[in-house]
Structure 1
Amino acid sequence: MIPEDHPRYRSLAARERLADAAREGIVALEGLTAHGRGEAFDYLIGERTTESALLAARTAAALLTTAHCPVISVNGNTAALAAGEIADLQKASGALVEVNLFHRTETRIHRITALLEEHGVNVLAGRAERLVPLSHDRALCLPDGIGSADVVLVPLEDGDRCAALRAMGKQVITIDINPLSRTARTATLTIVDELTRALPNITTACAGLDSAAAADLIGSLDNTYLLRAAITEIQKRLEHALD
């Protein structure tokens, strides 16, 4: 048991959830390494949501709520850490939710789907087809889901699928705490924030946007600015780390 007054409570609780999910076959072992890398960048950003990340979350809400066919793509880490937050965002945005995995087995698809459904997510079902131009199993997606989407939210994404989705003409929103990653630099919009902080911010923004505000946010979208702002925040943190 982790005491709730422990200064690292949120971080340690997330690690425990991922470890449990790995033992249950929901999270791939490689996903534990990926989470650790993200944690390191969260330290650098100060384990907080910056103003530029809030702007990115509001812009993500604008893209999702004005899309013709928005889809949230979920992998094992996302399901383990934020199934409830995905359910809330689905309700607020009207987006479809599809499970998409690099280390793909039908057993993992079933277990992740069951976990999401336990938290109230309506998970899209059907026969996956190799629609994304990739050589690995993340190419597999549902024709009525990612295959038809105009906007795809891909938390904790890998860069090659992000690039492939962009090449297909889709707008890609990613949540990536590493502003230097291929995904962050390739996406239409990058929210440089930790997953469980970012998702509720998008959900809240969905409820408060009117069409005019959404249009303004989309019209002023500048992902390079958002990435530079995140890197500037990290630089400031490093400069004053021992103050």
Structure 2
Amino acid sequence: MTDDAGVDGDAETDADDERGGDPEVPADPEHESEIPEDHPRYESLLTRHRIERGVDIGITSKQGLIAEGRGEAFDYLLGEETLPSADAAARAAAAHLLLAEHPVLSVNGNVAALVPGEIVDLAEASGADIEVNLFNRTDERMAAIADHLREHGASEVKGLAADGRIPGLSHERAKVDVDGIGDADVVVVPLEDGDRAEALGAMGKTEIVIDLNPMSRSAQVAAVPIVDNIIRAVPNITRHAAELADASDEELREIVENFDREAALDEAERAIREGDLD
């Protein structure tokens, strides 16, 4: 899933009918608090609302709407739940972040729209920097996303300096801060473009990818592929980071070494191909 967002209201009605949801619940609430948490499609409705608002306030591109629809389809096939392998990946991600000398959380427009406060919480729990990185980059969007993250508690947001470049990329996502992603040893890249994921790996950086498609290039090249919805995955990494805060480096390294990325990808693909949607 890359730069995620939602699909149309007719599809929502059909999904409600399939899962026994309440057709009386509005598909387009003005505020996310209007979405009842016991609705069987709560996470889907919440995600769509946040992405739509992100477009309205200028932090999410319209292309992100299409990408989110693709991601939502994969989440539906996963049963809209965190697989045991995804939880293990989140724990491995937390261990990587706690062991890192300079961890960085990369944020694009969809990430900023979907989990701004959760990203700030993860940065605080792991000691990571936050850096904005966009494909459809403009000064206005960069500033709007940085402001949005600050409104949700971020004390510092990198990415505006753009005084470094990722080798091998010709588009705007090549631009990074030298003292941010440029200097990072571990990078969390949610909803990532495959070519940048490959380029960051070529630089020797440990990549933690959050992607609902286990067959995507980003997930395939990641040291830690977390095949899960970002609104579940980011808080899950934070929870594990808090639980592991007092763990020794030896314990953290053991978690990292015991994580089986191939098994995680295989379980996710198997769940998508063979899962029970009842």
TM over 0.5, shorter chain: yes
Task: Note the alpha carbon deviations across 1:158-206, whole angstroms, 9 max, x for none.
Answer: 1000000000110110100110101010111100000010011100111
CA–CA separation in structure 1 for the residues paired with 2:206 and 2:91 = 15
Question: C-alpha distance in 2, partners of 1:201/1:3?
Answer: 22
Alignment correspondent of 1:233: 271
Matched position secondary structure for 2:183: coil
Matched, 1:13 2:46: yes
Q: Does 1:137 align with 2:169?
A: no
* AA matched with 1:30: Q
Distance, in Å, in 1 between the alignment partners of 2:133 and 2:84 is: 30
**2:252 counterpart residue number:** 214
* Alpha-carbon distance between aligned partners in 2 of 1:6 and 1:59, rounded to the nearest angstrom: 31
In structure 1, C-alpha distance between the alignment counterparts of 2:187 and 2:70, rounded to whole Å: 23
Letter in 1 for 2:71: G
Q: Residue type of the partner of 1:69?
A: H
Shift of 1:231: 1.2
Partner SS state of residue 68, structure 1: coil
Displacement of 1:129 in angstroms is 2.8
Whether 1:194 aligns to 2:229 is yes
Distance 1:125 1:39 in 2: 28
1:161 to 2:199 alignment = no
Unaligned runs of at least 5 residues, structure 2:
1-28
The whole-number CA distance in structure 1 between the counterparts of 2:47 and 2:142 is 21
TM-score between both structures, scaled by the size of structure 1: 0.95
TM-superposed deviation, 1:3: 4.1
Q: CA deviation at 1:9?
A: 2.5
Alignment gaps of 5+ in structure 1 = none
Residue 74 of structure 2 is aligned to residue 41 of structure 1: yes
Matches of 1:162 and 1:14, distance apart in 2:
24
Of the three residues 110, 119, 125, the one matched with 1:77 is: 110
Task: Count residues in correspondence.
Answer: 240
The one-letter code of the counterpart of 1:213 is E
- Secondary structure of the structure 1 residue equivalent to 2:153: coil
Structure (1 or 2) with the larger CA radius of gyration: 2
Task: State the secondary structure of the residue aligned to 2:101.
Answer: coil
State the one-letter code of the partner of 2:240.
A
| TM-score (normalizing by structure 2) | 0.83
SS at match of 2:119: helix
Change (3 A) 1:83 1:241: closer
Shift, 1:126, TM fit: 5.1
Q: Within 2, Cα distance between the matches of 1:64 and 1:14?
A: 26
CA distance in 2, matches of 1:150, 1:68: 7
**Secondary structure of the equivalent of 1:154?**
strand
Letter in 2 for 1:64: L
C-alpha deviation, 1:47, in angstroms:
0.2
Q: Is this contact kept in 1: 2:132–2:160, CA < 8 A?
A: no
Instruction: Give, in whole Å, the separation in 2 of the partners of 1:206 and 1:9.
Output: 26
RMSD between superposed Cα atoms in Å:
1.3
Give the letter aligned to residue 220 of structure 2.
Answer: R
Structure 1 counterpart of 2:138: 105
Question: What percentage of aligned pairs have identical amino acids?
Answer: 51
Superposed CA deviations along residues 29-79 of structure 1, whole A, max 9, x for unmatched, are 001111110000001111000100000000000000100110000000000
Q: Which aligned segments of 4 or more residues in structure 1 are displaced greater than 4 angstroms?
A: none
The secondary structure found in structure 1 opposite 2:130 is strand
